[in-house]
Amino acid sequence: MAALLERAAPTITEAPVKDYVLLGKIDFQHPLFAPFSDPRFSDFTKIHFWKYRRVDPSTLPGARVIAEFDRGDPAVIQIPLGRGSVVVITSSWKPADSQLALSSKFVPLLHALLEQSTDIPPTKAQYFVGDIIPMSSSTTGYTVRKPDDTEVRIDSGGAFAATDQPGIYAVSPGGRRFVVNLSPEESRLTPLPLDRFTALGIPLQKPEVDPKIAAQRANAAQAFEIEGRQKVWRWLIATALGVLLLETLIAGKLSGANRSSTVPTP
């Protein structure tokens, strides 16, 4: 570190670890961890660190802590140096230090680290309508041809924000091409719940109903309820009549049988 930073080496000590430590706080806005900002990929709790070194970032001018261990000690530090920066990882991916090399996040992390050493802007797997496309620095600027063959001129070091059409965009000079797709939200036909609109800050007002129409609806609901109750009473009355008729028939049969058994024989 002293040779890279061209300054006196900071105080570095071996941190005592009983079992293991985990990454507790990560800056997913930083380009190094931006590929993992999606909640599906932001879980680092399966990577155990058995050894790491304590570095005080306050002794490094301009240092930025990108990730911390769950103890609060820095795990990844970025230190500006000239036109670039030095990234310090206080542990390592050796099996004796951590499980980082065995994780599926290891290769994307190294790839993001290498991208920081080039002038090529970070690219996403896919872009959607409305996304802002970063462009690399240029002294002459760029011209972007949109899917409808219109051209947009952007200045040096700017970003392209006119992604209002799905299709293929071509950048000149350089021949760079990128695709802009419709957001998957456009294909979801399930109605959104009302609380989603409230969370987005969209005011929801109940529609005003004419008092006469409201009274008619209330009367219709009351009549429907009364009719439903009458139907229940009709079934109860019909059941009672059926039981009474059945009892009458049984009583008639029993009385006839009794009369026949009491007739004297000649």
What's the predicted TM-score (pTM) here?
0.47
Q: Determine the pLDDT at residue 211.
A: 75
pLDDT tens digit sequence for 182-215: 887 777 788 878 777 777 778 777 666 677 777 7
pLDDT tens digit sequence for 135-171: 766 556 788 889 998 888 877 656 778 888 898 988 8
Q: Determine the pLDDT at residue 197.
A: 77
Q: Is 133 exposed, middle or buried (0-12, 13-18, 19+ CB in 10 A)?
A: buried
Q: Determine the pLDDT at residue 112.
A: 82
Please give the helix or strand (H or E) that residue 224 lies within, else none. Answer: helix 211-261
Closest by Cα among 12, 14, 5 to 79: 5
Instruction: List beta partners, residue 80.
Output: 85
All structural domains of the chain with their residue ranges: 2-115, 127-186, 207-261
Give me the sign of the Cα torsion angle 64, 70, 59, 101.
Answer: negative
pLDDT under 70 in the chain at which residues? Answer: 118-125, 136-140, 156-158, 206-209, 227-232, 256-266
Could you list the beta-strand ranges (E) of 70-228: 74-81, 84-89, 127-128, 133-134, 142-145, 151-154, 159-160, 167-172, 176-181
